[in-house]
Structure 1
């Protein structure tokens, strides 16, 4: 019998990235295509798809329970497959509900709401268990690069599915929407299933204590939250993700109102920002691999750099409003994306490093707690950013001042995240954030 590997190989990490590609392919239809169909083709208020997406984010609070479940069974693959099944069924159900709403509005929206709930459950179960599998299987020196690879492959799922769906949805009809969604869901589930075959089996089997002697969920959750390192890292994830997502809905309107950019130009601006995010992720992956064993390999260092640079970019964008067209907005937005990418991949790599600090008995629960903080903050950040701009415009009529104040507030949040991150490693328990350290 072949000897189990201690760590996942790069081909195995790539296969787990394909699961993220599949997940991203289904999610992008939920958050973009169905949103557009409801608002444009069905002429529904934008609040309707907004509330449906909010359901998906609200369910993320259950991530600790899904992580605990995979801890208890000792294997992650069944939870990933079960989550993907729920996600794909929910994605197809949401498309069916949207098509039904054209003729039977109440029934269609009810089905869509139930389906978005299922999508949230699926994303939570599959996403949490996938990250836990990576956290336990990836060698410490590869965590930054592995986090980059998996994140980029999720973006690849967005990039491949959106044009594919757009091509086959023309000319639009409800039946076409169901056919496209059903096809994407089926392909995504099959791809994820094939990618998972044999990956976890190549790792050491869980100990009998991990699989069979599991304390109750709330006892484990209480233990995790009582740990100062885990608690502070949870606060860091929430604050930083709130700052990360708060500019999502206001950057393009800001460019249009203050810098007189048209819709095409602001769309390109968003693309430039995403390009910066990708560049930042690749930068951290390359440096942590090439500089292992040195200070430059510290993910904690890159968290501080990413959050600090994000704050500086947001302050620059806020201060650039009064300059008008002379201000290099494109450069500032690219810098924001670059800093965001550095922060994001370093945070995910650190999450993977810290997940095992409590042993196999808590790995899934810890990852679930941080996943819940991330999901709730990301879901609420965009809404809070937009609401803050609206509130400021009730006080000051000048859009430059209103938007500038909100961007500055987001920068302050990033600085607060830096302060929290610096305290995580200084907590009583010693949990390395440097991927050059060997796993215990």
Structure 2
């Protein structure tokens, strides 16, 4: 099997960028609008985002389906089409929800289910395509490139959307969302067409086992099982601030929707810088297979914990705190951690044999989805509960940011313990 060249890897990175741009609108900007502009409980958008992650528990099925087929491109394009339509529908549900109509909540739940299914189908198949067609010595670099491009897409979309929706109106929000969704679908479709050239799994027969058997086979692998556990714990820590950062900026620092969206762009810019550093420093771009990424994972977790403690202090200090710099530091540390973990994931995906990359990526994607859904919902609900209990926004956000920082410390300790094991589990094996 001929491996993908750098040009094809970059093209697939455009698909990842298109996915990230749309998910940012649904999980970040729309969350902020619901909580601040429409004064809805933070638990509502958090619940919808948690629901879209719950739907992503179907990722192993999407991955297994693409494993058993001969082409992954239809799964990617189909998922992108569903994601674009569902993102537009999610914004369309907002006036119905604001008016108290039950149909609005049902429509929103259906839209976020479509977002979860679209991300699951397109994202899992994309990662499986990379894992199956990229040469082993290029897998870590491919992971870094595609995630760097995803974050770049989020940064660009955050900046453009933040500029276009001020002064805020629902009509502006709907127009911006439709424009982003349509552009993302076209870019992703053009990028992926022709990459496979009909040879993705042509040189090996597709796996014959059914879905339950494929999952059991993958779970019997000790390294894959332990890596799944690490993915869950680390991503739980990673996700708790997702649903509260923009409301935090609006409630504590009085940021407008455009300002808070641009603050999210600053965070993602930090993520981008951290990913580039980890990609270079972690040997991702040096023709080696992710060697030494364990140290970068630990450093990213520790740095994320420190930045979150800074945000906990910021909630108390208020306007005098350098919030933009703090958020940029958080993004940077998150980026170091994320690209290192993804590089390890990509390296381990091919260990199950040719034609089984999809099921592995699907299981890890499902673990990540459970963690993201749980973390985002727990963070938002904790903020709601603490705001009601204390009557103070500062105390609520301080508690949640501090708890998230503590989880990152736990993740770092888990990875250090794994690296010290004489049997080289988790990080060392994944790298």
TM range (shorter): 0.7 to 0.9
Q: Alpha-carbon deviations, 1:50-90, whole Å to 9, x = none?
A: 43333212111111111111111143212111211221222
Aligned to 1:417: 411
Residue pairs, 1:168-183, within 5 angstroms: 172=169, 181-183=177-179
Residue pairs, 1:84-163, within 5 angstroms: 84-98=80-94, 105-162=101-158, 163=160
Aligned to 1:337: 331
Aligned to 2:164: 167
1:200 is aligned to 2:192: no
Residue pairs, 1:136-285, within 5 angstroms: 136-162=132-158, 163=160, 167=164, 172=169, 181-201=177-197, 205-209=201-205, 211=206, 213-249=207-243, 261-263=253-255, 272-285=266-279
Q: CA RMSD in A?
A: 4.2
Contact 1:309 1:339 in 2 (8 A): yes
Change over 3 Å in CA distance of 1:428–1:314 after alignment to 2: same
Q: Distance in 1 between matches of 2:76 and 2:328?
A: 34
Q: Distance in 1 between matches of 2:359 and 2:365?
A: 10
Q: Distance in 1 between matches of 2:91 and 2:313?
A: 43
Q: Alpha-carbon deviations, 1:333-380, whole Å to 9, x = none?
A: 544332211100001111111111111343111111111111221222
Structure 1 SS opposite 2:354: coil
Q: Distance in 1 between matches of 2:398 and 2:168?
A: 42
Q: Distance in 2 between matches of 1:416 and 1:247?
A: 16
When structure 1 is superposed on structure 2, of 386-395 and 193-202 the one drifting more is 386-395
Contact 1:145 1:284 in 2 (8 A): no
Aligned to 1:305: 299
Aligned to 1:68: 64
Contact 1:297 1:434 in 2 (8 A): no
Unaligned runs of 5+ in 2: none
Change over 3 Å in CA distance of 1:43–1:155 after alignment to 2: same
Change over 3 Å in CA distance of 1:253–1:194 after alignment to 2: closer
Structure having the higher Rg: 1
Aligned to 1:385: 379
Q: Distance in 2 between matches of 1:109 and 1:294?
A: 49
The TM-score with structure 2 as length reference comes to 0.81
Change over 3 Å in CA distance of 1:180–1:214 after alignment to 2: same
Unaligned runs of 5+ in 1: none
Q: Distance in 2 between matches of 1:402 and 1:30?
A: 24
Structure 2 SS opposite 1:215: coil
Q: 2:8 aligns with which of 6, 12, 17?
A: 12
Structure 2 SS opposite 1:263: coil
Aligned length: 427
The TM-score with structure 1 as length reference comes to 0.79
Q: Alpha-carbon deviations, 1:295-343, whole Å to 9, x = none?
A: 9942222112222333344456657888999987766554433221110
